[in-house]
Chain A
Amino acid sequence: MRVRKKGYWLYLVPSLVLFLAVIVVPFLMNLGVSFTRWSGVGTPRWVGLENYARLLEDERFWLSFQNNVALIFAMAIVPTVLGLVLAAALFDYIGRRFGPRTASALRAMYYLPQVLPVAVAGVVWGWMLHPSYGAVNQAFGLELDWLGDPDLALATVMAVMVWFQLGYPVVIFMAGLQRVDPAYYEAAELDGASWWRKVWHITIPQIRPEIFVVLLTCTIAALKVFGPIFVLTRGGPGNATLVPSYFSYLNFFQKSNVGYGSAIATVLALIIVVVTFLFLRVQERES
């Protein structure tokens, strides 16, 4: 006997209605508004591609994406590389020589920043990096304005984001390593392979799917980054830490350039969808 198939679509109705109202319609409205000049009140005036043409000439727009690339480095690339080293060391060195309890205690410590709301992480570091009473300056006897100096601000934000993100790859990679057959490591050890060679030739190939997932999700998170910028620097000093999401927020809610803000948000959405698509294609080809 077969289970009857008809009538299941009824269960989709509530979601489709809500989905239309909260995601599809707003997204299309955003796209539509990006072709207009609009202050948020009155009638939007159609200007065609003017906003997009203006974007291409806008130094701040390019700068915001340049900063975004720096944040992809700090939020995706660096945590992935460090996470690999830490996870491999915890799993097949600390875990085997000092016991799994030591390894999981260390893992929990690396993961701790990840449990914070990212805005709260910003509050913590805003306080620690305060130029007059902050702990970092006091601890090292410095007088640096970490977040207020245009030459330092981006690097400081990057460092904070490495701290915030690192636990995620460590946990994901350690979970992936559970799958790896210990026989590989034993064989490699008999051959006298160094620890680095084992990481390179066994660990990395074995947890490739996890590496993909981490790189993809962290890259998307970096492209969307808003909370830490808002809390730590508000895009400044000057435009030193301006990112696209904050740039669109500024245009929406402070400058009343809703059309221009919508164009920035549309470009950002497009980039994220393309990046996701590319990652999934590469992953498919690999497997």
Chain B
Amino acid sequence: MRGPGRWAVLASMTVAALVMVFPFALVALNAVKTPEEYASEGPLGLPGGLYLQGIVDFWNRVDFGEKLWNSLLISGSVAVLAVVLSVLNAYALGIGRVRGRLSILVLFLVANTLPQEALAYPLYYLAKEAGLYDTRLSMIIIFTVIQAAFGTYLLSAVLGQFPKEILEAAEIDGAGRFRALVRVVVPISRPTISVLMIFFFIWTWNEFFLPLIFLISNDNQTVPVALGVLQGERYMDATMSSASALLGIVPAVAFFLIFQRTLTRGITVGAVK
């Protein structure tokens, strides 16, 4: 195709892309409008100026800083702890090749596909018995295990390819097994480990079902839970709704921009796993 044809293809691809990002633009546009502007001009009119009171009001009303901190605390802890567990497991399975390795891997894989619905009520019941219900710690423990199930599966395959010569050299130098793991295996596998850590962080940040069940008090809620529960509340007028949507979008897009390079590499890693 030449001449006008190729521009038609570009134009239709661009239109499709604009449709995809249109909601983002619209949310941003309306989050900075006054309620009067929204009432008179509607959602499509341009704002007269930068009106940030709607965002500030919503922020204070739900104590959004606290929600951000809860999400950050839970996701950050899970990312670190789940990577530690994945590395320990993968060391035993991928390099140590312990007996029954294959069945253990299958177990982790099945655990990874199980719907959380099939664990939710017993977890809720057990957490209540243990005094962990409605604590951020309960979410950290549960998601550490769930994410580590996937991490073990992926990292075992990677460490299965780990060059034996390096391990032998470490052993000749008198390095114990734990020392070899910390000083040799982890530094060499750093690229995969950092991709895993970012994935765990974002996946945990995005979780909704279990946090909705476990974190019922306002003080413990994560960003998605707080926003999801407030949706449809009576006091949520049009501008406040768009302010709340914007506050949900900003951290997610920020993580994407920060981690973009590692992520695009990682998405491919995940796909060929």
Whether B206 contacts A110 by the Cβ 8 Å rule is: no
Instruction: Write out the residue numbers on chain A whose beta carbons fall within 8 Å of the beta carbon of B242.
Output: 127
Closest to A264 in B: B117
What is the 8 Å Cβ interface bit string for chain B, positions 100-120, against chain A (1 contact, 0 not)? 000010011011011111111
Instruction: Write out the residue numbers on chain B whose beta carbons fall within 8 Å of the beta carbon of A70.
Output: none
Closest to B243 in A: A127
- The docked-state distance in angstroms from the alpha carbon of A205 to that of B192 is 29
Whether A33 contacts B141 by the Cβ 8 Å rule is: no
Q: Name the segment of A16-24, A48-56, A180-188 touching the other chain.
A: A16-24
B20 an interface residue at 8 Å Cβ cutoff? yes
Q: Name the segment of B49-57, B193-201, B225-233 touching the other chain.
A: B225-233
Whether B9 contacts A89 by the Cβ 8 Å rule is: yes
B164 an interface residue at 8 Å Cβ cutoff? yes
Instruction: Write out the residue numbers on chain A whose beta carbons fall within 8 Å of the beta carbon of B167.
Output: 3
Whether A133 contacts B43 by the Cβ 8 Å rule is: yes
Give the residue of A9, A106, A115, A224 whose beta carbon is less than 8 angstroms from that of B115. A224
B65 an interface residue at 8 Å Cβ cutoff? no
Instruction: Write out the residue numbers on chain A whose beta carbons fall within 8 Å of the beta carbon of B9.
Output: 89, 93-94
Instruction: Write out the residue numbers on chain A whose beta carbons fall within 8 Å of the beta carbon of B154.
Output: none
A167 an interface residue at 8 Å Cβ cutoff? yes
Whether B104 contacts A12 by the Cβ 8 Å rule is: yes
Whether B91 contacts A266 by the Cβ 8 Å rule is: no
Shortest distance from the beta carbon of B44 to any chain A beta carbon, whole Å: 6
Closest to B116 in A: A224
Whether B91 contacts A94 by the Cβ 8 Å rule is: no
Whether A276 contacts B113 by the Cβ 8 Å rule is: yes
A117 an interface residue at 8 Å Cβ cutoff? yes
Whether A22 contacts B123 by the Cβ 8 Å rule is: yes
User: Would you list which residues of chain A between 5 and 55 have a CB under 8 Å from chain B?
Assistant: 5, 7-12, 14-15, 18-19, 21-23, 25-27, 29-30, 33, 40
B46 an interface residue at 8 Å Cβ cutoff? no
Instruction: Write out the residue numbers on chain B whose beta carbons fall within 8 Å of the beta carbon of A253.
Output: 213
Shortest distance from the beta carbon of A175 to any chain B beta carbon, whole Å: 4
Instruction: Write out the residue numbers on chain A whose beta carbons fall within 8 Å of the beta carbon of B24.
Output: 112, 124
Instruction: Identify the interface centre among A11, A109, A163: most chain B CB within 10 Å of its CB.
Output: A11
Whether B253 contacts A115 by the Cβ 8 Å rule is: yes
Whether B20 contacts A94 by the Cβ 8 Å rule is: no
- The docked-state distance in angstroms from the alpha carbon of A167 to that of B19 is 12
B171 an interface residue at 8 Å Cβ cutoff? yes
Question: Would you list 21 pairs from A and B whose C-beta atoms are within 8 A, ordered by A residue?
Answer: A11-B181, A15-B89, A18-B85, A27-B119, A94-B10, A97-B6, A113-B20, A115-B252, A119-B206, A119-B224, A123-B241, A123-B248, A124-B24, A124-B27, A125-B23, A126-B231, A127-B241, A128-B23, A133-B238, A265-B115, A272-B113
